[in-house]
């Protein structure tokens, strides 16, 4: 045993059972339709299979690596836009880029992360994914606040506030909730969870100290990125209120 998880029939059967369990739980509990669970699992399987076949070629070329990171960013922005607005919008792309771009530049410029494709792809993916989640959570909550508390927003306008200021009176007090997942993960790392970067370094042959350093860097970077993404999301939605 080398500690890795290899494709196998037992693994496939386990994944099918887990997917069925999740789908049945939300269906029988009347939480949601079973289809999103099944669809998400199927998409994850197909996408990871495709990436697994392509990753060797991607990691041999700096241009392909850059193109792949851009593709990850584009999909993240599109996904977040659908979650918030139900359609395409440029706002999530701005929020995600505002958080990710300067932090990635700092990590590579400082030498904390080597400028090599094998490091760029996973780190960029983790950071973009975190920014996407924070942007989606902040955006959905902001739209809900503006919808459910429309009267308070209009009262602010009646008192002479401009649109942005009236909206921010409602959005700022709840914006921090979009950071709860990142804060909880950072606070409990090593006590409750051993996140992906830590496990990945260990499975890749690194020692526990290297794994800890990599995971700490990722978690702190995520806090900075998601804070910026939430701030920009709330600000942009307030300006469009």
Q: Is residue 216 part of a domain?
A: yes
Question: If you average pLDDT over each of 1-10, 133-142, 180-189, which comes out highest?
Answer: 133-142
| Same domain, yes or no: 83 and 128 | yes
Q: Across the strands, what pairs with 189?
A: 193
Going by the DSSP 8-state scheme, the letter that residue 110 receives in this structure is T
pLDDT of 206 higher than 70? no
pLDDT of residue 60: 81
| Same domain, yes or no: 137 and 176 | yes
pLDDT of residue 73: 97
The reported pTM is 0.83
Q: Is residue 4 part of a domain?
A: no
Domain CATH for 119: 1.20.1640
Q: How does residue 241 score in pLDDT terms, banded at 50, 70 and 90?
A: low
Q: Is residue 232 part of a domain?
A: yes
Residue span of the structural domain in which 137 resides: 62-239
Percent of the chain residues topping a pLDDT of 70: 93
| Same domain, yes or no: 158 and 196 | yes
| Same domain, yes or no: 148 and 226 | yes
| Tokens at 101, concatenated | 């771009």
Q: How many domains does the chain have?
A: 2
Q: How far apart are CA 221 and CA 215, in angstroms?
A: 10
**Cα 233 to chain center, whole Å?**
14
| Same domain, yes or no: 136 and 223 | yes
| Same domain, yes or no: 103 and 192 | yes
pLDDT of 215 higher than 50? yes
How high is the mean pLDDT of the chain? Answer: 89
Q: HSE of 169 in the Cβ direction (CA atoms, 13 Å)? A: 15
Q: How many DSSP H helices and E strands does the chain contain?
A: 10, 0
Could you report the per-residue pLDDT of 11-59, keeping only the tens digit for each?
889 999 999 999 999 999 988 888 999 999 999 999 888 888 888 788 8
| Same domain, yes or no: 29 and 41 | yes
| Same domain, yes or no: 40 and 82 | no
| Same domain, yes or no: 27 and 140 | no
Q: Is residue 151 part of a domain?
A: yes
Could you report the per-residue pLDDT of 146-175, keeping only the tens digit for each?
999 999 988 998 988 989 999 999 999 999
Q: Is residue 208 part of a domain?
A: yes
pLDDT of residue 1: 42
């Amino acid at each position: 045993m080398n500690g890795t998880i290899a494709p196998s029939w037992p693994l496939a059967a386990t994944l099918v059972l887990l997917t069925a369990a999740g789908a049945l739980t939300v269906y029988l509990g009347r939480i949601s339709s079973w289809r999103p669970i099944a669809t998400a699992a199927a998409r994850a399987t197909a996408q990871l299979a495709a990436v697994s076949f392509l990753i060797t070629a991607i990691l041999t070329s700096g241009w392909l690596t850059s193109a792949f990171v851009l593709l990850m960013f584009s999909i993240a922005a599109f996904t977040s836009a659908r979650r918030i607005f139900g359609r395409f919008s440029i706002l999530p792309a701005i929020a995600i880029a505002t958080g990710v771009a300067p932090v990635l530049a700092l990590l590579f410029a400082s030498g904390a992360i080597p400028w090599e494709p094998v490091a760029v792809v996973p780190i960029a993916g983790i950071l973009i994914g975190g920014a996407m989640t924070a942007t989606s959570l902040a955006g959905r909550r902001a739209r809900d606040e503006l919808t459910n508390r429309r009267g308070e927003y209009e009262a602010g306008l009646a008192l002479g506030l401009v649109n942005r200021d009236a909206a921010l009176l409602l959005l700022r007090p709840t914006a921090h909730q979009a950071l709860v997942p990142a804060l909880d993960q950072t606070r409990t790392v090593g006590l409750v969870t051993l996140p992906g970067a830590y496990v990945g370094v260990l499975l890749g042959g690194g020692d526990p100290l290297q794994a800890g350093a990599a995971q700490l860097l990722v978690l702190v970077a995520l806090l900075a990125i998601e804070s910026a993404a939430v701030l920009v999301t709330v600000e942009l939605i307030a300006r469009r209120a």
